[in-house]
Structure 1
Amino acid sequence: MIDLADSRALIFDCDGTLVDTPPVYARAWAKGFLPFGREMPTAWYLDRAGMSEHVLIDAFESDFDVKVDREETVKIMRQAFLDEIDALGEITHIARIARENHGKRRMAVASGGSRAIVTASLKATGLDALFETVVTLDDVAHPKPAPDLFLEAARRLGTDPAHCIVFEDSQQGLEAARRAGMREIDVADIR
């Protein structure tokens, strides 16, 4: 049982926390990188799920000794992701926490993904109506593990960071929550 007694606000990551996006992202990134002559192994992506787009591209270029057109790669990847939007499903046990707290606590989504993909993912799974605000990488200067996303979510919710609980699946996200002065919950520990 998760103790939420001292919390005034809950902040959820989207990808891999609320919505099962990693398999769709893996296929979309593979399509994004393919025009540049390298196949991206699914396992390689899954080991890096949760990285921002530009950090992931940096890693791909370094690990595979290739240079890609960043703008074109992201454009192809995002379109491939949106083409598969109907394949997405919620992560039931985490979505249940959000539903149970809807109307009882202030709630936000804070994701390192793009606004277009995050909002489409939440809408496709029917989770969008649960949250007062959605903060994405488009809204802040620095990706996770910087605390920017979570601090902006707390600001929009009008809640002191010390009274926020963050639900996250990635090490970068858990570190970002700690840096923001928020209690973090690794969703891998919830079943």
Structure 2
Amino acid sequence: MIDLSDIDTLIFDCDGTLLNTPPIYALAWTKGFQETGKQMPREWFMARAGMSDHVLMDAFEGDFKVRIPSRARAIEAMRREFFTNIADLKEIATVAQIARSNHGTRQLAVASGGARPIVEACLKATHLFDLFDRIVTIEDVAHPKPAPDLFLKAAQLLNTAPTRCFVFEDTQSGLDAAHAAGMRCIDVAQIIPPA
């Protein structure tokens, strides 16, 4: 299993790691991109799940050669649709259990490329919010993953050296960010039992 004997802080990505948000985001972004006149293929989104809003919009415009008339309206439409479906959100049990079992014995943080209102609402909807000492979101840093900013900010807020942090992630860009931050990490696909 995972050796955490010299670890003080566990840092969890949210989307696709702690919570099964990608299917809900796929529905929400379909609504968000509606003004472009281009239907977003679900598979396209699932291959990019975990990207921050603006990085995802850049990819959509580039891949489909369209322009999003108003990014603010696209985000607003996406969020409205996301919150409509938030009751369907499920935790990823194996990873959530790691957070629960370490609550009170290690510092816990969420470091997500998502927007704070959505990340916090998701954690509250799944009753995980109170487990975490800090929540760091895209609004708190200059650069999204694969830059190490989110993880370094979480470590800084919890006064922990990066070498004493362990990261749980589900994407290559997140794993690259953890490595760039000098933190050990695991791809949660290695610990989640097959469905």
Instruction: Name the TM-score, length of structure 2 as normaliser.
Output: 0.96
Distance 1:163 1:88 in 2: 31
Counterpart in 2 of 1:188? 189
Gaps of 5+ in 1: none
Aligned pair count? 191
Does the alignment pair 1:52 with 2:58? no
Q: What is the CA-CA distance between 1:28 and the residue it aligns to?
A: 0.2
What's the offset of the Cα at 1:19?
0.5
Aligned partner of 2:90 in structure 1 is 89
Structure 2 partner of 1:104:
105
- Within 5 A, what are the aligned runs for 1:108-119? 108-119=109-120
Give the counterpart letter for 2:118 in structure 1: I
Residue 71 of structure 1, CA deviation = 1.2
Partner of 1:28: 28
Q: Deviation at 1:70? A: 1.2
Aligned partner of residue 91 in structure 2, secondary structure: coil
Runs of at least 5 residues in structure 2 that lack an aligned partner in the other structure: none
Matched, 1:67 2:67: yes
- Please report how far the alpha carbon of residue 144 of structure 1 lies from its aligned counterpart in structure 2 after TM superposition: 0.3
TM-score (norm 1): 0.98
Deviations 1:2-51 (A, max 9, x none): 21111110000000000100000000000000122010010000001111
Whether 1:4 aligns to 2:4 is: yes
Alignment of 1:129-148 (within 5 A): 129-148=130-149
